[in-house]
Amino acid sequence: MTASSEHPLHVLHVGSAGPRVAFLHGLFGQGRNWNQIAKAVAGQDGSGARCALVDLPDHGRSRHTSEFSFTSYAAHVAATLRQLAPGEPWTVVGHSLGGKTAMVLALTEPELVERLCVVDIAPKHYGDLHRFGGYIDAMTAMDLEAIETRQDADAMLAQTVPQPWIRAFLLQNLRRHHDTWRWQVNLPLVRADRDRGSESVIADFPIAPGEHEPYEGPVVWLVGSDSEYVHDEDVEPMRELFPRARLVTVNGAGHWVHTDAPEVVIEVIRRMLDGPSGSGDDPPR
């Protein structure tokens, strides 16, 4: 698996010493979504960890692609991490889309991934992108030429997305370029994948249990108790690919576990980094 190092992914750095930790965001997200967690893990003096908050392809300030592929995403992440720290292993934390990317990265580049933390996603096909369909339509329908201020954009999006926190999350992708506004996320690519229905590549997972050598490193699998993304039947296929995976259910958290329960996620990552075998003590539940 190869990817060009001429155009590495955009990365925000937090921390100056300690083990290396890469954070991979979810669909419509950006690396900076993990800033609060990364700052806490790095500590006040920055010596707890050297964190890389990665903008995945088609997101944030990273380059757009013409076709979605988890294998390609993982290859770009691998090339970027190797460029940042040649020969050094990483702890990789990934949520949702980033969690799938992190799993593919660990399976295909195991020497690069020392530890893995998968947040509220399973290695399976989710059927389609219907969960995000309304957001995709709402963002596509916005008349960007009619926007003068970010408040205008929020009011426009509020007509179809009433939750303020979801609007704020989606509108982080809206950036002003000279006198015009544009989406940073590759919205046409995501919309085209949504329109594939059950053939959605983003909703799928490219590696099936039994088709690939498992990843033998330590894995913490964080799942929100109020989320619908992971079910009991997902445990066996997860452990076929990741035999050392430990399921940790975070009470009161939904799909965005790191937003709903940041203190739990921070403690889990700290224990992963401190553990003698790379897995740490039993994480909090």
Residues 82 and 221 in one domain: yes
| Residue range 80-129, pLDDT digits in tens | 999 999 999 999 999 999 999 999 999 999 999 999 999 999 999 999 99
Q: What is the 3-state secondary structure (H, E, C) of 95-145?
A: ECHHHHHHHHHHHHCCCCEEEEEEECCCCCCCCCCHHHHHHHHHHHHCCHH
- Supply the pLDDT for residue 266: 98
Residues 135 and 119 in one domain: no
Residues 149 and 34 in one domain: no
**Domain of 18, in residue numbers:** 11-124+205-274
- Supply the pLDDT for residue 282: 45
> In this structure, are residues 111 and 214 in contact, taking their beta carbons and an 8 Å threshold?
no
> In this structure, are residues 89 and 188 in contact, taking their beta carbons and an 8 Å threshold?
no
Please give the share of the chain, as a percent, with pLDDT higher than 90. Answer: 89
- Supply the pLDDT for residue 276: 55
Task: Assess if residue 5 is contained within a domain.
Answer: no
- Residue 253 or 177, more confident: 253
Residues 120 and 152 in one domain: no
Stated as kind and residue range, the H or E segment containing 258 is: helix 257-260
Task: Assess if residue 213 is contained within a domain.
Answer: yes
- Supply the pLDDT for residue 283: 45
Residue 154: phi and psi, rounded to 5, are -65, -40
- Supply the pLDDT for residue 7: 63
Structural domains of the chain, count: 2
- Supply the pLDDT for residue 280: 41
- Supply the pLDDT for residue 8: 86
SS3 of residue 217 by DSSP: coil
DSSP output for 173-189 = TEEEETTEEEESS-HHH
Task: Assess if residue 6 is contained within a domain.
Answer: no
Residues 215 and 103 in one domain: yes
Give the CB-side neighbour count of residue 63, counting CA atoms within 13 A. 15
Give the CB-side neighbour count of residue 53, counting CA atoms within 13 A. 19
Residue 273: phi and psi, rounded to 5, are -70, -30
Residues 55 and 186 in one domain: no
Q: How far apart are CA 51 and CA 36, in angstroms?
A: 11
pLDDT mean across residues, the chain: 93
Which two structure tokens, joined as six digits, stand for 97? 């889309």
Question: Beta-strand (E) ranges in 1-127?
Answer: 11-14, 20-24, 50-54, 90-95, 113-119
Instruction: Report the CATH number at residue 62.
Output: 3.40.50.1820
- Supply the pLDDT for residue 43: 96
Average pLDDT over residues 225-232: 96
> In this structure, are residues 203 and 128 in contact, taking their beta carbons and an 8 Å threshold?
yes
- Supply the pLDDT for residue 285: 44
